[in-house]
Structure 1
């Protein structure tokens, strides 16, 4: 590559990808289940002004995740209003901040070219691109762990006390983003690096006392307040979410979802899928053998970081593909090092723009909104009827978090018609492919996304 040209091209490509993602955040509706569920939890947090306990339902605490991502989403809603853009903006902002950390990390240890290319790879691989504009909790964990890894590396290799403390700050944020998993995902690459390099003395030189105080000062107050407010939280969160969930394939203790039983080792296939299209360049990593002699400590550290999350989840069958997200920045750093030496800058830019172009095409064509999980249009029909014929919004069958979000919490659900005991008229939503016979009088108001809205005058059984 010609450095004077490639740097401008790489900066332009990265900014283009980030701005395209930012500009499309509000152009398609929230989808079930995870995205709409987390957006609704954040909306409830803002509406209730309860910043300690995220709420799964009215008066039902959500013990499945710490609140960092919900705080960010709720604050965004407070600033911009309650809609799709504000729900997703914090994810984009955390992603952009993560890109800056990636660029800074690689620029100091390798080159600006490698840093920009790594940020581009992270932003345009399948999982990185999707998560940068989705309402998820994983983006907060990625940013926290990036800060923790960067700080750990600077502290170990350069004796940089300031960055080492920043690493401890990142660890505290990780505890607020995902919980004790953050400790595991920072300890594993550190242990691998120390075992290979034998630089154990450097570990002792880290500011453990002040750093640990910083980590605990950031995270511990919320954990204490959460347990005091809803006793039982710590037992469920620590034992259930961090032991039973991963050790038991059909764990029945999940209060908020269902088990995701998958074959052992499936996490590695999720990693390949999450890295596409850049996973096609993984064979080039064999060329890193020559660079190991040039800067072995750096590559051992990044390689340990890259494999830690997949290794941790290898023996777990209850997994999601988002679990590999914390490893993607490390894989992006490794790939960037070899891609910069073997691929032209124009090719990198062309590959990087594939997903943004396809995503924009799906949005323009309406395909991104043409899903049965999209309940924005149905809720819009319900709202349009309220002036002339007011009534509650009831879903028959599965709960719809998207409907709750778009109806500001008014949507409710019943499993069967026999559960209805409503004397006042109401609106009923059913999936067209799962219609149930009704023992009361209704007429159809409209249809959208495979769902039917009916106005029912007598729900008294």
Structure 2
């Protein structure tokens, strides 16, 4: 009976989606927070929840974090209130947003006769989407807002009268301003404008089907108050965020004005390689189908809409050197919708399903190996060495300091108790207060510890990048 069911593609799709989603949910709790990005956002949310400062995010106590708006931080901080401060709580909002997109897309395609599970299967077997289904970052919230805006626009334009999708478009726009700022408009308005230009009658339909004035008010009420209060409580925020993060970051290679790290300099056009690598195997198939049907693309409203949605983001980022692979996340949805549209064209669906399952299977194997603990000292996190250090009760009362700079995972897993020593003068002050301390240092900066203090220290824990010393 079960063997017969597995002959059905629909059954395989449903089982695969459920199992992959459950596996991804398991990973939200099982994998430690990794430096720098994920641990950084988890720590910012932890400080927000602890200090009850919900307006200005802080990267450390008393130090404002101006680089990103607070939507994803709010979600993780609120999750801490419900589930406590842990990896699962920090990641669960991102997981939930991704699963909501899977459900929304499933309901959309089901009305056209496709399997409810097909969108979820395509998305959850795409490396970029699967990775970010449960990662602490601002990108999942941005992806969610972009997707809701684009879907809402399409639904509104194709309806005979005004619907709730019309208002949901402006709600998503307001939330997008809180997710990653004005970038939400940069990624959505141009493709929507170009699509309307393909048939100028759409502009007339747009103004008849959208409640523009009410919508702008909805967007303003959702998105703008935080910007006002953030600038009031932390002067200088708007200049850094609007000018620095939205212009200089993308225009200046290796932007030096970044207060929280350094620019991610890449060769121009790298976004396309990211798409090919992290969109496997679906983006290659979509590109092939688009080329094969290139003469009819612009004659089909839905296909032309998806093509503009798909290509605008990588075109926009082509000239930027400061990019990450996560910048392709918003285009995972149009890739999926295009695959669903052409799904019935493929005769060997079982072969396609098997190929798509390769990455999730690799992920399961990788987690199984990691779960043995043999690579604990190779992971980019301080969780394990700090846990080993604190296994002995006598160590729990000894103060812990970082040399030169703190790792965000170290801040998170010590609940913000880790302190910082920047120079020899501060060493003198610390030793006047404490007879015994733990000193955590990156191995690359270990030799910068003043010699008179280095002689007093004994290595007690280490991994591939970090060492912990205790004073004699």
TM-score computed with the length of structure 1 as normaliser: 0.91
What do residues 313-369 of structure 1 show as CA deviations (whole Å, max 9, x unaligned)?
111111111111111111121133224421544334433432232222222212774
Q: Is 1:444 aligned to 2:447, yes or no?
A: no
Q: Is 1:395 the equivalent of 2:414?
A: no
User: What are the superposed Cα offsets for residues 412-432 of structure 1, whole Å, 9 maximum, x if unpaired?
Assistant: 344555652312121012344
Question: What RMSD over aligned residues (CA atoms) do the two structures have, in Å?
Answer: 2.4
> Is residue 208 of structure 2 the alignment partner of residue 197 of structure 1?
no
Matched, 1:430 2:441: yes
Structure 2 CA distance for partners of 1:219 and 1:389, relative to 1, 3 Å = closer
Taking structure 1 as reference, are residues 452 and 178 closer, same or farther at Cα in structure 2, changes over 3 Å only? same
**Which of 254, 264, 267 is 1:250 aligned to?**
254
1:70 alignment partner, one of 54, 69, 73:
73
Of 9, 12, 16 in structure 1, the residue corresponding to residue 15 of structure 2 is 12
Q: What is the aligned partner in structure 1 of residue 276 from structure 2?
A: 272
SS of match in other structure, 1:39 = helix
**Is 1:156 aligned with 2:157?**
yes
Whether the 8 Å CA contact 2:378–2:463 is kept in 1: the answer is no
Q: 2:41 aligned to 38, 41, 63, which one?
A: 38
Is the Cα contact below 8 Å between 1:375 and 1:449 reproduced in 2? Answer: no
Report Cα offsets for 1:37-87 as digits up to 9, x if no partner.
000001111111111111011101111111110111111122111111111
DSSP 3-state at the match of 2:400: strand
Distance 2:10 2:275 in 1: 28
Unaligned runs of 5+ in 1: none
TM-score w.r.t. the length of structure 2 is 0.89
| Aligned mates of 2:239, 2:443 — CA distance in 1 | 41
Deviation string, structure 1 residues 191-249 (Cα, Å, up to 9, x no partner): 12111122221121111011111111111121111111111111111111111111111
For 2:191 and 2:347, locate their aligned partners in 1 and report how far apart those are by CA, in whole Å. Answer: 29
Return the alpha-carbon distance in structure 2 between the equivalents of residues 27 and 407 of structure 1. Answer: 18
Q: 1:100-153: per-residue Cα shift (whole Å, max 9, x none)?
A: 222233344x4433x643332222211111111211111111111111111111
**Rounded Cα–Cα distance in structure 1 between residues aligned with 2:271 and 2:395:** 53
Compared CA separation, residues 118 and 197, structure 1 to 2 (3 A): farther
* 3-state SS in 2 of match to 1:66: coil
Partners of 1:446 and 1:145 lie apart in 2 by 45
- Residues of 2 paired with 1:16 and 1:274: CA distance? 21
Correspondences of 1:83-232 after superposition (within 5 Å): 83-108=86-111, 110-113=112-115, 116-158=117-159, 159-198=161-200, 199-205=202-208, 206-232=210-236
- Higher RCO (CA-CA < 8 Å; seq separation 6+): 1
Structure 2 counterpart of 1:303, from 275, 283, 307: 307
> Quick one: distance in 2 between partners of 1:101 and 1:389?
48
CA distance in 1, matches of 2:132, 2:375: 15
* Residue aligning to 1:381: 388
Q: How far 1:381 sits from its partner (Å)?
A: 3.1
- For residues 350 and 377 of structure 2, the distance between their equivalents in structure 1, rounded to whole angstroms, comes to 34
Between 96-105 and 133-142, the greater mean CA deviation after superposition: 96-105
Return closer, same or farther for 1:203/1:193 CA change in 2, 3 Å cut-off: same
Aligned to 1:341: 345
- Note the C-alpha offset of 1:14: 1.7
Question: What is the rounded CA distance, in whole Å, between the counterparts of 1:151 and 1:368 in structure 2?
Answer: 45
Contact 2:389 2:395 in 1 (8 A): no
Q: Does 1:420 align with 2:427?
A: yes
Paired residue secondary structure (2:438): strand
Aligned: 1:332 with 2:347: no
1:104 and 1:265 map into 2 onto residues whose CA distance is 35
Structure 2: gaps of 5 or more residues: none
